[in-house]
Amino acid sequence: MTNDRRSDELARYKLGCLSADDSEGYYRVGCPAALGKLRCPLKAASMNLGFERPEVMDPPVALPRCCVQASITIAPCVNSKTRQKHDYPSAAHQLSYARRTAVERCFSTLKDPATTDVRRGWCRLSGRTKNLVMLVCAVIIRNLRVLASFERRTAPYGPPRRRKRRATEPPA
């Protein structure tokens, strides 16, 4: 919860994206005060925003480029974490990244020699189409195995029971 609140607060102070990537990967960002994310004395129009917005209490003496220019061009090599769809430590990023673990788990069970084993040389057919059909069959078998395991765990007895704690005798 604390991490979610901090990442939401971080997003309020983040430079706002003004354009999509161009053909070379460059994009433009603007000052958060000019975009209406926060109140800043350096941007007079932002001080008309409601008091629920965060406010910059001590603006810098030497103005940064985002305060002087209308927008800044960001190169494609600069900080790839800020270019992601969701802000890095946010709850939305964590949910999106959790999908990756499910995909990696699927790949690992497909390549496990104890189960499906679709490593290099597993199928002696020539041609992409034939190998793709065999791979699709392997994925179907893997999914059926996962489904059967789930059904064994849940039906007909319901959710797994927890063991009762053993009564401990008081020390003598």
Residue 104 pLDDT more than 70? yes
Q: Sorting pLDDT into bands at 50, 70 and 90, what band is 129?
A: very high
Over residues 88-92, mean pLDDT: 81
- Cα–Cα distance measured from residue 26 to residue 76, given in angstroms and rounded to the nearest whole number: 5
Over residues 136-140, mean pLDDT: 93
* Contact call for residues 78 and 25 (beta carbons, < 8 A): no
Over residues 81-100, mean pLDDT: 80
**Mean of pLDDT over the chain:** 84
Strand (E) or helix (H) holding 110: helix 91-111
Question: What pLDDT is recorded for position 64?
Answer: 86
Question: Which pairing describes strands 27-30 and 72-74: parallel, antiparallel, or unpaired?
Answer: antiparallel
Question: What pLDDT is recorded for position 158?
Answer: 62
Residue 160 pLDDT more than 80? no
Single-letter amino acid, residue 80: S
Judged by DSSP in three states, 81 sits in: helix
Spatial strand order in the sheet of 72-74: 16-17, 27-30, 72-74
End-to-end CA distance of the chain: 45
Q: What is the DSSP letter of 78?
A: S
Residue 167 pLDDT more than 80? no
Over residues 148-167, mean pLDDT: 75
- Report the range of poorest mean pLDDT among 46-55, 85-94, 161-170: 161-170
Q: Sorting pLDDT into bands at 50, 70 and 90, what band is 141?
A: very high
Q: Sorting pLDDT into bands at 50, 70 and 90, what band is 164?
A: confident
Strand (E) or helix (H) holding 28: strand 27-30
Residue 166 pLDDT more than 80? no
Over residues 47-52, mean pLDDT: 89
